[in-house]
Structure 1
Amino acid sequence: MTFEVIGTYATAIFLLIGSGFALVGVLGLLKFNDSMTRLHAPTKVGTVGIGALLLASMTYSYVSGAPSMHELLIMAFLFVTAPISANFIAKVNIHLRTCETPPAPPRDDTWSTLKAPEDDQDLDPASDT
């Protein structure tokens, strides 16, 4: 097998993987009911699908003799901006109360702090020996 044939097969595999992920993202976007569940399909699955399609484009351009690295910039921009935009969309939905409110933390005084509950504190670790 020559380098061109292997590159063509790799391009085809990347195209199939990318289109499969993009299809799952589209189906998830159409199937889910509210905006918070719809948010996961295009941001998670779609990002991987577009990444695989861009990888196919890079592979094809390298095999055809005109290598292009513009796709790396597109992938970097996509992988950085997709989670941030998903976070902003989720925050808007929470603030507009268009979705279920997240549950309150069980102990509000110790949640996300370094303060440990008094029940969990050891009196003297040296006395255990």
Structure 2
Amino acid sequence: MNGLIDAASWLLLLGGALFSVIGGVGMLRMPDFYTRMHAASITDTAGMILMLGGLMLQAGLTLVTAKLVFVMLFLLITSPTATHALARAALHDGIEPQIDHDER
């Protein structure tokens, strides 16, 4: 049973790392500010959930797991809020989203 928990934990940790790397590549590959910001924020949140889930499995039912739950809740509130504030500030500053007219 312990080996199964370790395997699930490592799978979550590697999945979170993969999401983080994909987010970094998305930051480089996307064409404009808003799509870059979207790629970074979505993969950042997904990677964080997976990595903290893997750490929680490694920690077991301890005080460390409770602290990791609070960290996850804090990040689930602040990360999308910061992304939203950044997008609104960019719109207010006059940065327009890039529109591909070929798709219309």
- How many Å separate the matches in 1 of 2:93 and 2:87? 10
Corresponding residue of 1:46:
44
% identity of equivalent residues: 25
| C-alpha distance in structure 2 between counterparts of 1:33 and 1:89, whole Å | 17
Offset, 1:4: 1.4
Q: What is the distance in 2 between the residues matched to 1:18 and 1:75?
A: 13
Please give the residue correspondences for 1:5-16 in structure 2 after superposition, counting only pairs within 5 Å: 5-16=3-14
* Aligned partner of 2:74 among 74, 77, 98: 77
What TM-score, normalized by structure 2, do the two folds share? 0.83
TM value normalised by structure 1: 0.69
- Match for residue 94 of structure 1 among 66, 91, 94: 91
Higher relative contact order (CA 8 A, sep 6+): 2
Gaps of 5+ in 2: 99-104
Which runs of no fewer than 5 residues in structure 1 stay unpaired?
102-129
Q: What count of residue pairs does the alignment treat as equivalent?
A: 98
Q: Tell me the CA shift for residue 95 of structure 1.
A: 0.9
TM-fit CA distance, 1:34: 2.3
Give 1 or 2 for the bigger CA radius of gyration: 1
Q: Which is helix-richer, 1 or 2?
A: 2
